[in-house]
Amino acid sequence: MDAPPPTPRHTRLSTGTYGPNDTKLQQLASTHPFTQQLDVVFPSSATLESVLQRSESEYWACKSSLSAFLESAKAFVSRYAMDSIITALGMPGPDSEDVWSLDTRGLLTLAVTKDTYERLGLVGQRMPWKACDDTFIIHISLHEEVPHDTKPTKKWHRLGSKQKDALRAWDARRGPWHIMYNYQNQAHIATGIEGSAARGVKPSMRKAAGIHVPGVRLRPRPHEDEPDAVDDWDEYMSSLFEWVGMVCMGAQRLEASDRADPYLAVYTPPAGSHVGNITHMRWTGLLPPAFVQSVIDATINDDGWHNSDAPGGSPASRFVAFTGHGVPTTPVAYLPLRDVMSTPIRAPRAESEDTWSLIMTNDREPGLNGSTSVEWVLAESIGQWDSRWG
């Protein structure tokens, strides 16, 4: 029996140097409103471990009707600005594939099947792909006013009486939703909406000793005029991100003492690897973008990863890798920095992918008053039926 071919994936790499004007890295987490898992990998460093272990988050889960939840959540949505403290996800039920999300803009996005769409009575847009053209996307703004001067916002509804009646009728047909939500700023929010159960997110740490640790040297992509250099660069980046993924999975092939049968597995670590210790930390749960960004910022600002435990503390060993996994069943996976009003359409399925992986190195130049330049490379991977890149 032939295995089905893997679904197509799209991957994009971008590089840069971290600085005060580097908006891409400073707002990386805000472009992904729903993250379900964050992995951080770095050569073992006691100080960085202690900093990251103090990073904790929290989210809430409840069972409620959508209309009742929106009545409570509206208090946390800005009335006139595209901003919301609360973000929420409506998970699919056993009998229905309908899902919804409330993102950081205060926009409620419903992804419903054809049958639900024909009964709901709210105008939406059909998915542009033939394979999933029975799914419809509906946008409802929870703000008092919706700016109608842009093309995307003209398709938005405002949460008026007609929309509320439609949602109430839908709740009566469907039953309660299983909802997960969190707050961007949890400092002054002690309790969630009534009937919710709080779930804390604490990091889990795993240390691995005696494994191949790559020597990370990040350079911008060579020009297309040098095809050999481009190929080498692509291959090196591919091996780097493969290594990061294998660490996150706890692969045994990374162990220096691994002697696997080559007929079963053949793995070559990236060029310039040495044997060392690494630390892998993981947060699992509905993580707000602010929390993810705080982890990245705390790592950048901390000296812990500059002084790794690698032999000789070579510059090549000073790196840290972040990997974020988005929630696959959310209709909104990405908010473009340049145009936050437009929402790339995406088919929310359990097999959908929305993953980003960031590797940063700290190339400290000796004798230059401790000046450092943080070079980074970001790999973003999306699955099929995602219009993020056209």
Partner 1 sequence: MASPFGSMTGDDFIVSDIYTDLPPIDNQRVKLSSSTPFTPTYVKGNVRSTDPAQIYASRIRGRQLLLENPARESKAKREREEKREKRRAEKANKAARVISSRAAGSSGLWRLDREETKFSLFLPLHSLWLGYMSELLALPPAPSGSITQPVADAVPSAPAMHAKLVKADFHGSLVTVRQSKNPCLVGLSGVVVHETENTFKVVTKKDQLKLIPKQNAIFAFSVPLYSTNPPSSSNLRTTILNAPGSATPLTSPDNAQTVLDLPHIEFELHGNQFCFRAAERSNRKFKHKETIEL
* Binding-site member from 46, 113, 118, 198 for partner 1 (CB under 8 A): 118
Task: Assess 117 for contact with partner 1 (CB under 8 A).
Answer: yes
Task: Assess 121 for contact with partner 1 (CB under 8 A).
Answer: yes
The tokens for 294 are 């705080």
Residue 363 Cβ vs partner 1, minimum distance, rounded to whole Å: 56
Residue among 327, 218, 222 nearest 272 (CA): 218
Sign of CA dihedral 7, 13, 18, 21: negative
CB under 8 A: which stretch of 80-88, 116-124, 237-245, 375-383 binds partner 1? Answer: 116-124
Task: Assess 46 for contact with partner 1 (CB under 8 A).
Answer: no
Residue 112 Cβ vs partner 1, minimum distance, rounded to whole Å: 11
Residue among 75, 111, 139, 87 nearest 148 (CA): 139
**Burial (0-12, 13-18, 19+ Cβ within 10 Å), 21:** exposed
The tokens for 302 are 């901390």
Residue 115 Cβ vs partner 1, minimum distance, rounded to whole Å: 8
Nearer to partner 1, 123 or 271 (CB): 123
Q: Which residues make beta-bridge pairs with 39?
A: 282, 323
Phi, psi (rounded to 5 degrees) for 246: -70, -35
CB under 8 A: which stretch of 76-84, 101-109, 110-118, 192-200 binds partner 1? Answer: 110-118
Residue 175: count of CB within 10 angstroms of its CB: 11
Residue 108 Cβ vs partner 1, minimum distance, rounded to whole Å: 16
Q: How far apart are CA 317 and CA 306, in angstroms?
A: 9
Binding to partner 1 by CB under 8 A, coded x per residue (else -) over 356-375, reads --------------------
The tokens for 235 are 């291959």
Residues 273-332, interacting with partner 1 (CB under 8 A): none
Residues 160-199, interacting with partner 1 (CB under 8 A): 162, 165-166
Classify strands 157-158 and 372-382 as parallel, antiparallel or unpaired. unpaired
Q: How far apart are CA 172 and CA 98, in angstroms?
A: 15
Question: How many residues at the interface with partner 1, by CB under 8 A?
Answer: 12
Task: Assess 139 for contact with partner 1 (CB under 8 A).
Answer: no
**Burial (0-12, 13-18, 19+ Cβ within 10 Å), 79:** exposed
Residue 113 Cβ vs partner 1, minimum distance, rounded to whole Å: 12
CB under 8 A: which stretch of 21-29, 113-121, 233-241, 326-334 binds partner 1? Answer: 113-121
Residue 386 Cβ vs partner 1, minimum distance, rounded to whole Å: 25
Q: How far apart are CA 239 and CA 235, in angstroms?
A: 6
Residue 333 Cβ vs partner 1, minimum distance, rounded to whole Å: 25
Nearer to partner 1, 122 or 341 (CB): 122
Residue 352 Cβ vs partner 1, minimum distance, rounded to whole Å: 25
| Cβ density class 251-290: b for 16+ within 10 Å, e for less | bebbeeeeeeeeeeeebebbeebbebbbbbbebebbbbbb
* Binding-site member from 46, 81, 123, 271 for partner 1 (CB under 8 A): 123
Nearer to partner 1, 123 or 337 (CB): 123
Classify strands 57-64 and 177-183 as parallel, antiparallel or unpaired. antiparallel
* Binding-site member from 68, 86, 120, 358 for partner 1 (CB under 8 A): 120
The label of the residue with tokens 């670590």 reads 269
The label of the residue with tokens 């904790």 reads 56
Nearer to partner 1, 162 or 202 (CB): 162
Q: Which residues bind partner 1 (CB under 8 A)?
A: 115, 117-124, 162, 165-166
